[in-house]
Amino acid sequence: MKRHFSQQWGFTLVEVIVALAILSGALVIVSSGWSGNLLRVRSSNLYNNVALLLESKMSELQAKYNDRPLEEIPESESGDFGADYKQYRWEFKTQKFEMPDLSSVFIKQGEGDQMLLTIIKTTQDYISEAVLEGTLTVYVKAAGKEVAFSVSTYFVDYEKDMAVGGI
């Protein structure tokens, strides 16, 4: 009984080509999985850095302006985070807090209790004068564009006098 060379040693050219095609397909799948994971790790690192920088800078600003009158808090300031975080920068802006009109919550439409309306209006005016909203924004340059992340806080002047009519 005679055997052919390919039958004796095992693999034909077609079998080798099929095996290489399967192997190359597997390599493509594995490499795309690695690149996707690398992208997710970089993104996670960026978000982690932004959260850390927002938290630390906001804590610093709150400590700096906590016991000061609202008039001493600047309308805006900005800076960077030094050599360790070259692609990050920050801006802090303040604006007057606008208290929403709450009279419709406490008084039914058409039924106006003048005393309650006066108290609500006085309280709203007081809160608008005694509270300042501050927004910290961290900008990061990533993939050729700048992305902004923001967080807000409120500064309250507890020493502000409340004007009460008739007193």
The verdict on residue 167 lying in a domain is no
The verdict on residue 53 lying in a domain is yes
The verdict on residue 14 lying in a domain is yes
Residue 112, exposed/middle/buried by CB under 10 A (0-12, 13-18, 19+)? Answer: exposed
Cβ atoms of residues 136 and 88 within 8 Å: no
Residues 6+ apart with CB under 8 A from 75: 93, 94, 95
The verdict on residue 164 lying in a domain is no
Q: What is the dihedral of CA 140, 142, 147, 149, to 10 degrees?
A: -50
- Tell me which residue range forms the domain holding 87: 5-156
pLDDT of residue 102: 74
The verdict on residue 162 lying in a domain is no
Q: Which residue has the higher pLDDT, 10 or 6?
A: 10
The tokens for 159 are 């020493």
CA distance 112 to 106: 10
Give residue 35's pLDDT band: very low, low, confident or very high (50, 70, 90).
low
The amino acid sitting at 29 is: I
pLDDT of residue 155: 93
CA distance 85 to 82: 6
* Mean pLDDT score of the chain: 83
Instruction: Answer yes or no: is pLDDT of 110 > 60.
Output: no
Instruction: Answer yes or no: is pLDDT of 123 > 70.
Output: yes
Instruction: Answer yes or no: is pLDDT of 154 > 80.
Output: yes
Instruction: Answer yes or no: is pLDDT of 127 > 50.
Output: yes
The verdict on residue 101 lying in a domain is yes
CA distance 74 to 22: 65
Instruction: Answer yes or no: is pLDDT of 105 > 80.
Output: no
Find the range with the poorest average confidence among 48-52, 76-80, 85-89, 121-125: 121-125
Q: Which residue has the higher pLDDT, 32 or 16?
A: 16
Residue 121, exposed/middle/buried by CB under 10 A (0-12, 13-18, 19+)? Answer: middle
CA distance 68 to 79: 21
The verdict on residue 163 lying in a domain is no
Instruction: Specify the number of domains making up the chain.
Output: 1
